[in-house]
């Protein structure tokens, strides 16, 4: 089978891991790289569309039959189902947390007042505004090497990256501080991979069914349930994958899950948590609660402005 991936070091590492798992099953796998719009453009993600910017080219290659399998970082996938395609597997998740990289190993609290911290993520920027008020947030983009090199050259004092990426690349030594979930919630699906192929229910090609069956063996049901809850929350908030939304779900008792969410809208923020047994319903329930919190905060802000005027 032909497995498609982006060409970055992290994407290749992730794709090679998936290929190795498939080869252990006796499958013959060849890798090909696909350039996406997100790789070509240097503009901020919020300007070039954000949602699906790293996935659309891989999905087009699947539709055209140029590849049989695409490996995505799940957080880059739009929440809407792509007609004719299916996420056959979501393997066991890596560390979902965010981490800080500084040149000398300092944590955020030790970075001098007025220092700069780089991120291209509105979600990270929104939460950093609370936990690192003494720092100035600057917009940066690029792969792991590019962003870490900006710290090494002194262009910024710190950057925030996903722990999963650095761990998969074997670069744990670059981590200066791990941001705990109480400090910063990750993007929905962060740390998880999505293995996508053509939907065997939408094709008469028997080979597509065999590809789907082989990939499905890599699925981890607990990880799938957790990210389903996170992405259901994201979908109900009608926010794209670059919107300021954080979410993390984990097992909570017998067959249940606890989902914690954070969102920023119209200058107001809300954070809450909920538990439940059905992941999709759990995500939608928490989204509704967050929207209620935001409505209350907006009303309070309006009253304050009216009083001041």
Question: How many residues in total does the chain contain?
Answer: 309
End-to-end CA distance of the chain: 66
List Cα–Cα distances, 79 to 35, 230, 263, in angstroms: 21, 10, 17
- Residue 199 appears among annotated catalytic residues: no
Rounded to the nearest 10°, the torsion over CA 128, 130, 132, 138 is 40
DSSP percent split of the chain into helix, strand, coil, nearest 5: 40, 20, 35
Identify the sign of the CA torsion 48, 120, 73, 29: positive
Q: What is the largest CA-CA distance in the chain?
A: 72
Half-sphere exposure of 207 (CA within 13 A, CB side): 7
List Cα–Cα distances, 76 to 19, 73, 117, 128, in angstroms: 20, 6, 23, 21
Of these residues, 30, 39, 76, 104, which one is catalytic?
76
Active site positions, annotated: 76
């Amino acid at each position: 089978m032909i497995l498609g991936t982006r060409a970055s070091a992290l994407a290749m590492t992730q794709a090679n891991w998936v290929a190795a798992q498939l080869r252990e099953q006796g499958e013959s796998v060849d890798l090909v790289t696909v350039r996406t719009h997100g790789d070509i453009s240097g503009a901020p993600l919020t300007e070039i569309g954000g949602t699906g910017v790293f996935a659309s080219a891989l999905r087009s290659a699947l539709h055209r039959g140029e590849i049989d399998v695409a490996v995505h970082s799940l957080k880059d996938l739009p929440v809407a189902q792509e007609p004719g395609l299916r996420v056959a597997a979501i393997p066991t998740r890596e560390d979902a947390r965010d981490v800080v990289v500084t040149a000398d190993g300092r944590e955020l609290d030790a970075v001098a007042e007025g220092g700069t911290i780089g991120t291209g993520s509105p979600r990270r920027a929104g939460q950093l505004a609370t936990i690192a008020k003494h720092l100035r947030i600057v917009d940066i983009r690029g792969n792991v090497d590019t962003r870490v090199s900006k710290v090494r050259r002194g262009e910024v004092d710190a950057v925030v990256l996903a722990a999963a990426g650095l761990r998969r690349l074997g670069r744990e030594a670059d981590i200066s501080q791990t941001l705990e979930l109480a400090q910063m919630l990750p993007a929905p699906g962060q740390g998880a991979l999505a293995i996508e192929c053509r939907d065997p229910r939408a094709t008469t090609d028997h080979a597509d069914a065999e590809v789907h069956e082989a990939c499905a063996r890599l699925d981890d049901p607990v990880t799938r349930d957790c990210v389903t809850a996170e992405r259901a929350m994201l979908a109900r908030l009608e926010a794209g994958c670059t919107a300021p939304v954080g979410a993390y779900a984990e097992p909570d008792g017998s067959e249940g899950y606890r989902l914690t969410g954070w969102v920023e809208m119209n200058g107001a923020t809300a954070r809450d948590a909920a538990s439940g047994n059905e992941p999709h319903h759990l995500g939608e329930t928490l989204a509704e609660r967050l929207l209620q919190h935001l409505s209350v905060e907006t009303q309070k802000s309006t009253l304050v402005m009216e009083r001041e005027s």
